[in-house]
Amino acid sequence: MPGIYIHIPFCKAKCRYCDFTSYPGKIGLSDAYMACVIREMQFRAKDLEKYEFGTVYFGGGTPSVVDPKWIVGCMNEIRKEYKLADGAEVTLELNPGTVDAEKIAAYKHAGVNRFSVGLQSANDKLLRDLGRIHTAKDFEVACSLLKGENFNADIMIGLKGQTIDDIKNSIALAARCGASHISVYALTPEESTPIYSEEYLNGDLPDQDEVADMYAQSVGILAEHGYKRYEVSNFAKPGFESRHNMNYWKRGEYIGFGVSASSFMAGRRFTNTPDLDEYTKCILSSHYPVVDDEKISEKDARFEKVMLALRTADGLDIAEYRSDFGSEFVVDFFDALSKNKEYFDFDGRRVRIKDEFLYVQNQILCDFIE
Ligand code: SF4
């Protein structure tokens, strides 16, 4: 089922590795911005009336820094203008140090039934080096407010000075606090960030092999705690996989609202402007804030389908590929498959990247682009 994504680009401070669309220091604009997001939802409603949506995801930025009345307002608008499936998954990202019991109660009242909490690390020194505003203790406090809720914890690997014990402690903390889902991401030093110009260029970050080793060890530690890998960076207790993200990996449709939000509907991929002023001006003058709009070619669609499905532990459903494209996966990608056959498992119905190679699936899939 299609999903709805809402981007809330405000944060208390800019983390040193962050190149997401986020505007620390502009929280004063959040009321005007959120009113525009609701207006954008109203613009699009007519075009999307035939769709039933199975998930909603509030991402950022830090959605928990805006007044919770806006989360309530967005959900009311979605229920009023769109078809939301019974039992839809509604996720909200939050950061420790930005929530209290009142906010959590408001989110739950609005229909949020899944949370995603940015832990990153249980080591306060590593958190400070990343420029995060919270401590491990703040994470524990946030989790105590989420007791009994379905929530994810984000953990980062590949940090300067990080040890396997740090990773073990981070996973153990998330597990002890009740996370039903853990995402593990390797730090990517993006060129525009302080972490790139300082740590990365100085050679202070772990190299690729060290990060691959951290990842492999994380998979084992997560398994010991009962978290099963279902996608290269995502691990869940049985039944707690993210439905919103699964829709992305199945190449399902989704609509994005807000600054820099991307959408994929009716074979087109389109993206809103990342500029806050431009976004607001477009909405206030009743224009779509889209800066990029591309019809996906049949060839690109096939590659996307394969690339996304092979990120998951379940891999690609060969019958689904046939039904989507009217052709055979093994014929369309014969050369690439022959060249890389040692990396794949086939069981006649599905093709998967072998567990031990999932982390390097990007390199394996290079041959599939041709
Ligand atoms: S909290 Fe997230 S979005 Fe905000 S600055 Fe840090 S990494 Fe970026």
Mean pLDDT by 10 residues, the chain (370 residues): 98 95 92 98 95 98 97 98 98 97 98 98 98 97 97 98 98 98 97 94 95 97 98 97 97 98 97 97 96 96 95 96 95 93 93 93 85
Q: What is the pLDDT of residue 256?
A: 98
CB atoms within 10 A of CB 213: 14
Question: Is 226 found in the same domain as 365?
Answer: no
Nearest CA, atom 2, ligand 1: 61
**CATH number, domain containing residue 328:** 1.10.10.920
Q: In this structure, what DSSP letter does residue 312 have?
A: B
Report the C-alpha gap between 301 and 320 in whole angstroms.
13
Question: Is 39 found in the same domain as 165?
Answer: yes
Question: Is 239 found in the same domain as 315?
Answer: no
Question: Is 314 found in the same domain as 244?
Answer: no
pTM value is 0.96
Dihedral (Cα; 156, 114, 15, 190), 10-degree rounding: 60
Question: Is 194 found in the same domain as 61?
Answer: yes
- Would 268 be classed as within a structural domain? no
Nearest CA, atom 6, ligand 1: 15
- Would 173 be classed as within a structural domain? yes
Q: Which of 248, 283, 308 is the last residue of a domain?
A: 248
Q: What is the pLDDT of residue 363?
A: 87
- Residue 161 near residue 199 (C-beta atoms within 8 A): no
Question: Is 99 found in the same domain as 16?
Answer: yes
Task: Provide the residue range defining the domain that includes 337.
Answer: 298-369
Where are the alpha helices (H) located in the chain, listed in sequence order? 30-45, 69-81, 101-110, 124-130, 136-145, 164-176, 194-195, 208-224, 243-249, 276-284, 298-309, 318-325, 329-332, 334-339, 361-369
- Residue 154 near residue 118 (C-beta atoms within 8 A): yes
- Would 20 be classed as within a structural domain? yes
- Would 201 be classed as within a structural domain? yes
Determine the distance separating the centroid of ligand 1 and the alpha carbon of 189, expressed in angstroms.
14
Question: Is 179 found in the same domain as 328?
Answer: no
CB atoms within 10 A of CB 106: 15
Report the C-alpha gap between 301 and 361 in whole angstroms.
18
Determine the distance separating the centroid of ligand 1 and the alpha carbon of 123, expressed in angstroms.
18
Q: Give Cβ neighbours of residue 201 (< 8 Å, ≥ 6 apart).
A: none
Q: How many domains is the chain built from?
A: 2
- Would 284 be classed as within a structural domain? no
How much of the chain exceeds pLDDT 90, in percent?
96
- Would 254 be classed as within a structural domain? no
For the record, the structure tokens of 129 come out as 């080096």
Question: Is 214 found in the same domain as 128?
Answer: yes
Determine the distance separating the centroid of ligand 1 and the alpha carbon of 133, expressed in angstroms.
10
